[in-house]
Structure 1
Amino acid sequence: MEEAAFRKIVPVFPVRDVPASLRFYVETLGFTLGGRTGDEFASVFRGEVAEVNIYLRRSEQVAPAECFVYVADPDALHAAYAGRGVPVVEPPRDTDWGYRQFTIADPDGHRLHLFRFLD
């Protein structure tokens, strides 16, 4: 059924400062800048054919959001991010729902849960 052929979701994070958020995502987390409209909007991505995208839109009011992002090796990524001073909210752990995951926060408090499925 073609209607069920979902492939991707792109969150839009409201941020107070697009340039500051870009520095965090690009320089600290290793994303690539996809596009930018001044200081109002930007797109960042990682992976082949932009497998992971996040849109950053300037807003005066920021309510932190969350998203889950599949990664091949959460423990190795956690070690790399911890070495760069990325704010780790939850260290790597196995969850009751079958994930190995850890959680980081961006400058506006948005949380990325970086996970893989348990074997």
Structure 2
Amino acid sequence: MEILASRILLRPADYQRSLQFYGEQLGLAIAREYPGGTVFHAGQSLIELAGHGTPPAGAPPFPGALWLQVRDVYATEADLSGRGVPILRPARQEPWGLHELHVADPDGLTLIFVQIPADHPLRRDTRTAS
């Protein structure tokens, strides 16, 4: 199998409220719009808000979180606070070395903004020299 592209598809309870959150409060750029939906750039990924269709009746909320890497999580926290985004958990360094900030979208989906320090294993080249 060859995957050519991917995105996360969200069907918010209130499309306009989520459109305002992702577009204005988070400041994500629009990749494209179509009747009933908007796709935002999110680094190397895309976040699509679908104003059409609904989650299946009785479906549990999104079980995970969106992990969004940023250059400076503390500057991101200040920016989001200034835009009125409620902070669930302030930015801090975790025991595993990453700096994380937690916010929630209008439907309660957790967005984890992550800064990876220069000395963290995620930044190391694990390939062996040959």
TM-score, normalising length: structure 1: 0.78
Q: More strand per residue: 1 or 2? A: 1
When residues 52 and 22 of structure 1 are mapped into structure 2, their CA distance, relative to the original with a 3 A threshold, is same
| Matched-pair identity in % | 29
Aligned length: 111
* Aligned: 1:108 with 2:104: no
- 2:78: which partner in 1? 79
What are the residue-to-residue correspondences of 1:1-119 with 2, within 5 Å? 9-39=6-36, 41-47=37-43, 51-58=44-51, 59-60=54-55, 63-64=61-62, 65-118=64-117, 119=119
Give ranges in structure 1 of 5+ residues lacking alignment.
none
Query: Shift of the alpha carbon at 1:46?
Result: 4.2
In our comparison, the structure showing a higher alpha carbon Rg is: 2
Query: Shift of the alpha carbon at 1:8?
Result: 7.1
Deviations 1:47-103 (A, max 9, x none): 5xxx34211234255713411111000000101111111011110011122210101
TM-score, normalising length: structure 2: 0.72
Helix, strand or coil at the partner of 2:11: strand
Query: Shift of the alpha carbon at 1:115?
Result: 0.5
